[in-house]
Amino acid sequence: MSFAIRKASPEDAAGIEAVRIATWRVAYRGVMPDPFLDGLEVRPEEFSTGMGRALMAASTEELSSSGHAEVGLWVLADNPRARRFYERFGFTLSGRTKMWPDPPLEELHYRMTLAANT
């Protein structure tokens, strides 16, 4: 097998994402819970448009309708915009933290109890 390594270009984005998704599904099967969302982002030009809130609402509604009672997430302590977003959505700090050594970063854990979906 031969291959060439080069810098990625914008045209490579879809292929890179496809590899990431396929790898995640195989590597983490049985390790991470099935209802695991690795990230939720919107483009900067879509900040404050309601898109992030709609995505979060859809995600938490799906978890609730699947029988989950709680949802948790990690966010960088130095990301005030994201922290405000989660807090406005109803997440509260759980008191759990993670420290990453290089570069030194602190992550904070937020949690939210989901409404019972009957």
Tokens standing for 82? 């994201």
pLDDT recorded at residue 76: 97
Q: What integer pLDDT is reported at residue 60 of this predicted model?
A: 94
Which residue ranges in the chain fall short of pLDDT 70?
A: 34-35, 117-118
pLDDT of residue 31: 84
Specify the pLDDT at position 40. Answer: 87
State how far Cα 26 lies from the chain centre.
Answer: 18
Residue spans of the domains in the chain: they are 12-113
DSSP 8-state secondary structure symbol assigned to residue 2: -
Return d(Cα 76, Cα 3) in angstroms, integer: 36
Topology annotation, domain 12-113: Aminopeptidase (3.40.630)
